[in-house]
Structure 1
Amino acid sequence: MKSSVLNDFSLQTTDFSSLENLPNLAFVNEYFGMVLNIGPYRNNFIRIGHPYRFVEGRILWVTEGNADFELTLEEYHIEKGDIILLAPETIMELKSCSDAFTMMGIIYKENIPVGKNLIIHAGKNDWHETVRLANILWDIARHTPFRRETVSHIVSSIISDIQDINRAELEQIPKKRKTRQEQVFSKFKKLVNEHCCRHRTIPFYADELALTPHYLSSLITKISGQSVMYWINRATLIQAKVLLKNKDILVSEVADRLNFPSQSAFGFFFKRETGMTPSEYQKAD
């Protein structure tokens, strides 16, 4: 069976042709991309209600408006003045946004350690500090020939600065210790994100957390108001949608990659969760 690229938003697979005639707005090559104003072209790349896997890392500045999105089974609200740092291979779904919502964004292919995603409600000085670095990066990136190493160092400096800002903010906020149940719930969601493509049974996650299936079920329901299977199915559905949005991948291949026993079993699951067949979803805009 033919192997397919599974990523919806990558420097290698995304069509940036809509930006080609806008040299004052965007710069994109095989190693790096930067867009100064995503707003007018948002629907060209990211549509509300569709999950996307970002192959490369991202740095985003919200320059106008606000939005709600889901990231690794967590929901976030962002607004003007926020800075977002996303590690490679992150899956994100835009839930809603204001008409004015726009961002400045950097896409980097270089292997720069990030560790974890960050969403920072930055102060005015911190915001302008990172934007000044981004402006320097914009000037350097458009130099001919492309200065890949210099660009990589500046991107790394921006990431380090954002991480330093985050650490400074955390030090000023009194630490609230998570309860034992909250810690288990966080670990459970992390495990589900990592393993839902292969494992979708309660005993598997209970074993990973050294708990009984009954206790895990009651704990997750108590703390979240939803069952263990709700979270497993939700994570699985996100993975399925990401795969299906690649028009070249067969439904049977998606079923196989998600470890369903058959294409019909996958189809039954997908229609139960969405009201659409996988093929209908794949063909929809």
Structure 2
Amino acid sequence: MNEEDRLQRLEQALQANQLICSSEGILTAFPASLRRSYRLCGLCLMLCRRGSFDFRLNGRDFTAHEGQTLFVPENATIKVTAHTDDLAVVIFAYHIEPIRDIMGNLALSMYPYTELSAETCYVWHTGEEEELLRYIALLDNTLMHGQELFNTFEQKLLLIGLTYRLCGIYSRKLVNRRDAVSHKDETFIRLVALIEQNFRNERGVEFYADKLCLSPKYLSNLSKAVSGYTVQELVFKAIVREAISLLKNTQKSVLEISEELNFPNPSYFGTFFRKQTGMSPLQMRRNG
């Protein structure tokens, strides 16, 4: 496709709120939707390969320069206000929902990490632009094959890989700006990592508080303040996410899954799962 066709195809995808919206290569202009105030339901990347562009994100004005990547967070509102005549930009947006069930707490908690510094950073030169472009090129290729069974699975795996890459980029950014991260926020990051390592066997707040040398009450209050969830809620989210992944992506029985997740019996697991998701494990499996 030539650039005009790709620009029109991207505009149609944005208007239809498709799961993946891609420029499928370099553009020298922005689609009409992004030149108005547009609310993205997923994540969006804009890699500025040449020139620069001005944009307003969640009511604040920024500029992206050559070599920089703009990270538009989930549910943000963006409007591109101007760009230079020599602009070259790659645009890729996607919904998190299809892969949310099989992403870890660490990845799903990444957005709060972006708010840990006094000045939130949405655009910078990451040094990993070429790697991001490789992911995008592979995903663009999947758009050509529609809803073929194996293509759909490949697309989902590539989106998971891209999302983890973005989380890695943000975590490295935070490490480089450690002076801007408070002790409270650093403790929360350590908590999430501990939950990812131990949620199958350890569900009590006391275990995680002991590991972090804090009182259970203080740790739960800290977790709630940073992420909106208590420690118990984060542990339950990890268990449910793993259970859904096993139900949808393996042939393991409910008994085997309940044992793997250290529930005393399938009935107890089923009651817990229904309370957390609103449906039974078998209903979740049938829903695909």
* TM-score in terms of structure 2 length: 0.45
More helix per residue: 1 or 2? 2
